[in-house]
Amino acid sequence: MRRIISPVTLALVGVILFGDGAYIHAKAWLAQVLLERAFTKSIASGQPTKPWSWADTWPVARIEVKRIGASAIVLAGSSGQALAFGPGHVEQTADAGERGVAVYAAHRDTHFRFLQDVVVGDEIELTRSDGKRFHYRADASAVVRFDASGIDPNTQGYELVLSTCWPFDALTSGPDRYILHATLIGTGS
Amino acid sequence: MSIYDETDSDEHPLLRKLINLGLFLLAQGVAVILIAFVALLVSFVPSWSATSEQASLLQPGETRSGTLFLKDDGATTEAVRLGIDVDITVSGPTLRARVTQVFRNPSKNWVEATYVYPMATNGAVDTLKMVVGDRVIVGDIKERQQARVIYEQARRDGQKAALTEQERPNIFTNSVANIGPGETVLVQIEYQEPVHQSGNEYSLRVPLVVGPRYNPTPIVQSVDFRPDGSGWGASKTDPVPDRDRVSPPVLDPARNPPVNPTSITVRLQGGFALGEVKSHHHAVKIESPDNVTRIVRLADGTVPADRDFELSWKPAAEKAPSVGLFREHVGDADYLLAFVTPPSVEQATQKPLPREVVFVIDNSGSMGGTSIIQAKASLNYALSRLQPNDRFNVIRFDDTMDVLFTTSVPADAEHVRQATAFVDALQARGGTEMVPAMRAALTDSLGDTSMVRQVVFLTDGAIGNEQQLFETITAMRGRSRVFMVGIGSAPNTYLMTRASELGRGAFTHIGSVEQVEERMRGLFAKLENPAVTGLSAKFSDASADITPAIIPDVYRDEPLVLAAKLDKLAGSLEIKGRVGDRPWSVTLPLQNAAEGKGLSKLWANRKIGDAEVARTMREMSPDDADKTILRLALEHQIVTRLTSLVAIDKTPSRPEGEPLKLSELPINLPAGWDFEKVFGERPQQVPTQLKERHADASTQPTARRPTPAAADTIRLPKTATSAELKMTAGLIVLLLSLVLFLFNRRQPLLTDAG
């Protein structure tokens, strides 16, 4: 009996740890499903719709990269809590389609994992919650420090930046960020 | 499993057991090291977010009129520096404090500085002086709007100006315009306050920091129907209309050295031979030139302004004088201040009435650190003091709340044990939604009139919607009495005092874990002993304007404090009331009153407080209350919600065309608070931001294009989760347990074969 206890305890610890990690993924996935619904509703109603009643954020846009079949619903704000559910629109940056630079950030191991497959030249489609669509073309990527992103918020162009942690397969978080820069090439569907 | 046990007992049991044990320990050791390593990595994650979560640039709440420019880099070195000196003279029943704030501008720009600071709740601020070089400019009292206009005008004209405004009765703001490069400007305010007395002990409190407040966000409009039942009402919008005025930037103590060095001197003349003099939260040096005087200074010269200064003193004699009477002649009126401590009558023959006590404990984020420990200790002490025939309930709240029992339960061992377990499990997190908790506590579902109903509310009061709470208490108090227990190094004393006043209870402050037992014992003495009720005061000859107009009940060892404005100083003052079930009265001849200082201000300040209470209780229309307050404030030169002090140096100092920068001075986090618990993940703002404000272009805000993000660069948020790490670690541990399991299984089989 004694001998069984320690492996079982150890196994339990393992399961809890694994489950904790898996929970993050499950949450990220489930939230996107709910967000997709809320986003469709927002487009239809023209009102910001909360994905679930106690949410402190709401969907603002959909990012799609058709070539690799990736898509994600972006939330307002980039607090740690919002980022658990989806990519966040970094506060105080321009809205998509507006003059200036729109910055979206998401976790490298969930919603923005697909960024590693996006290459310069790919087309990124953005749908705003008012239903307007914007097409961007990726034109540069870079690895920068979080506090020295080099993104010019006062730019006169129509730009888009997607940001996530770098390197993609690291286990711990660090100060480096991978940024993908894109410029508006057209509007409408 | 029994098979293994049997196979164990063959030839070399001892040896094999030893080997098994060794291997088991080895495996266990590896597992422990692994888990520890993983835990270490995981625990690093939040600290990473500390360095990387400076993402958001500017909160909308910080936006004030004027173009905002944000300086990210090197802002700290450019910020205005502030030093504070507090000089207090205690003479008998009152104290006069002179607070000098030294604003030094080390930068190369012209700067406007604003500093949000706390004020003693009963303090009447009546003097503002600005010292520029060798000139002293004395401020005038003006209506708030008018003072603002004068200040803004001077600011634009490049004149030095200082403005003292009240944000809450215990939160004030000083603004100083046009501090030149390298210049130092001194701003001095003075206030008058009564000395606090409780039992044998006299005390004063100098609040030094405003704790960050939880300002509830409006979600839906609430509707207030008129009490007359006419069906008409007014909808209310934001519960904290002035949220950005009471939220100065707060420095994270983990990443910034404390700011705002403060020196404190207290000249203590109690009016009687002094016994023990004690500073509760600061190390002090005490000089005693003679037996009625003490001079108290901080032992280390200066301290960071991160906790309240509390000084208490006792008379050398066994018992404090139970009566004090002081007078002051100002203009054509006499002002009188009376302290009377009713006798404490032991109710030996009569058992105290059984009580129903509802304990409410605040476990919001602002209570993190030592505050929650103090609160838990206090509540556990209180639970242990309950009698079996009492009934009780426990409510905890942050932005959610839980009521432990559906209705108040008898305080038997089992229920008390449940409550203790409930309290022990509490953790400080979340916002502070105090109103629903107060509402739940005041709901008198038992309605058992043979019991005394008491609400004991433990909180730091770190909220910005005080008025809502007051309205709740007024509307729902019924026969309940509300006892506020202020927790932590810098509680919101205005909230506590007013709430306990409206709830006809008492306010107890607990500033450290060491004070818990002593203060809670004091509170229980109040809870368990009958109050002095039905108090009234009458002057035999003089016609008097007495404040408080309706004298509140007085609890054991608390003095009754009365202030009055008299047309002539003659005759006597008679105070009547009931101690428990016995009538009590005392007569004080007025000619025996001693000369006091600043009593007129105290009287006026109390009258203003009365008017505010009457407004809350809807006994006075808001317009009438405002008129009364304005008249008193202007006559007695007191800063209130409606009046400000403004000082202008007529000589212009800033050359035309030079821009003026706005600097909001950061404050410390109150000692013992936990930064992350209050602000969530680490700072959402760069601590010391310099906001530039063009002095010449502030008239037409619409003319300026709002720049959504004018930062030099954009900080990117942290975008990695620990999911992978946890899953990998989990797999490794699982694998390890499998190996261990197999190993255990194999071992006996091998021995069988051998």
Least Cα separation, residue A76 to chain B (angstroms): 12
Q: What DSSP element (H or E) covers A103?
A: strand A100-105
Q: A20: phi > 0 → left, psi -120 to 50 → alpha, else beta; which? A: alpha
Place of tokens 């700011």: B259
Q: Which of B4, B56, B713 sits opposite A3 (nearest CB)?
A: B4
The span from the CA of A174 to the CA of A188, in Å, is 38
How many CB atoms within 10 Å of residue A67? 13
For residue B408, pLDDT beyond 70: yes
Quick check: B248 pLDDT over 70? no
Higher pLDDT, B552 or B329: B329
**Residue pLDDT, tens place only, B428-458:** 887 888 899 999 999 888 877 778 889 999 9
- Work out whether strand B355-362 and strand B303-304 pair parallel, antiparallel, or are unpaired: unpaired
Label residue B701 by pLDDT band (50, 70, 90).
very low
Q: What is the pLDDT at residue B643?
A: 93
**What are φ and ψ of residue B268, in 5° steps?**
-105, 115
Only one residue has tokens 């002051």, namely B328
The answer to pTM > 0.80 is: no
| Whether B714 contacts A103, CB under 8 Å | yes
Question: Is the pLDDT at B394 greater than 90, yes or no?
Answer: yes
Per-residue confidence band for A107, with pLDDT thresholds at 50, 70 and 90: confident
What confidence category does residue B32 fall into, taking pLDDT thresholds of 50, 70 and 90? low
* Chain A residues whose beta carbon lies within 8 Å of the beta carbon of residue B429: none
Examine the pLDDT at B7 and tell me if it is beyond 70.
no
Residues of chain B neighbouring A83 (CB-CB closer than 8 A): 717-719
B702-746 residue pLDDT tens: 333 333 333 446 777 777 777 888 888 888 888 888 888 888 776
Yes or no, beta carbons of A92 and B716 under 8 Å apart: no
Q: What is the pLDDT of residue B57?
A: 29
Which residue among B1, B27, B731 sits closest to A18, beta carbon to beta carbon? Answer: B731
CA-closest candidate to residue B521, choices B530, B532, B511, B508: B508
Inform me whether the pLDDT recorded for B69 exceeds 70: no
Tell whether the model's pLDDT for residue A40 goes beyond 70: yes
Q: Are B174 and B667 in contact (CB under 8 A)?
A: no
Report whether pLDDT(B40) > 50: no
Least confident of B1-10, B294-303, B539-548, B697-706: B697-706
Residue B676 has pLDDT above 70, yes or no: no
Of B78, B152, B302, B213, the C-alpha closest to B696 is B152
Please report the pLDDT score of residue B74 as a whole number. 32
Q: What is the mean pLDDT of chain B?
A: 76
Q: Decide if pLDDT at A34 tops 70.
A: yes
Model confidence at B13, pLDDT cuts 50, 70, 90, reads low
Three-state secondary structure call for residue B640? coil
What pLDDT sits at residue B522? 84
Helix (H) or strand (E) holding B150: helix B144-156
Q: Which residues of B touch A8 (CB under 8 A)?
A: 737
First to last CA, chain B: 20
Mean pLDDT for the stretch of residues B405-413: 90
Spatial separation of the C-alpha atoms in residues A143 and A69, rounded to whole Å: 24
What pLDDT band is residue B296 in, cutting at 50, 70 and 90? very high
Can you tell me whether residue B523 is helix, strand or coil?
Answer: helix
Q: Which residue has the higher pLDDT, B218 or B87?
A: B87
Q: pLDDT band at B177, cuts 50/70/90?
A: confident
Q: Which residues of B72-104 are buried (b: 16+ CB within 10 A; e: fewer)?
A: eeebbebbbbbbbbbbbebbbbbbbbbbbbbbb
Name, in order, each residue with C-beta under 8 angstroms of B616's C-beta and a sequence gap of 6 or more. Answer: B467, B470, B471, B474, B502
Q: Report the C-alpha gap between B546 and B569 in whole angstroms.
A: 14
pLDDT digits (tens, 9 = 90+) for A135-167: 998 888 888 887 777 777 767 778 888 988 878
Per-residue pLDDT tens over the stretch B86-121: 999 998 888 999 998 888 888 788 888 888 888 887
- Quick check: bond before B548 cis, omega within 30? yes
Interchain contact B85–A (C-beta under 8 A): no
- Min Cα–Cα distance to chain A from B301, Å: 39
Considering only CB atoms, A80 lies closest to which of B51, B681, B741, namely B681
Give the H or E element holding residue B210.
Answer: none
Residue A60 has pLDDT above 80, yes or no: yes
Cβ atoms within 10 A of the Cβ of A187, count? 12
* CA dihedral sign, ordered B218, B500, B173, B362: negative
Residues ≥6 apart with Cβ < 8 Å to B83: B101, B102, B104, B260, B261, B262, B263, B302
The 3-state DSSP class for residue B576 equals strand
Query: Residues B23-39: what's their mean pLDDT?
Result: 59
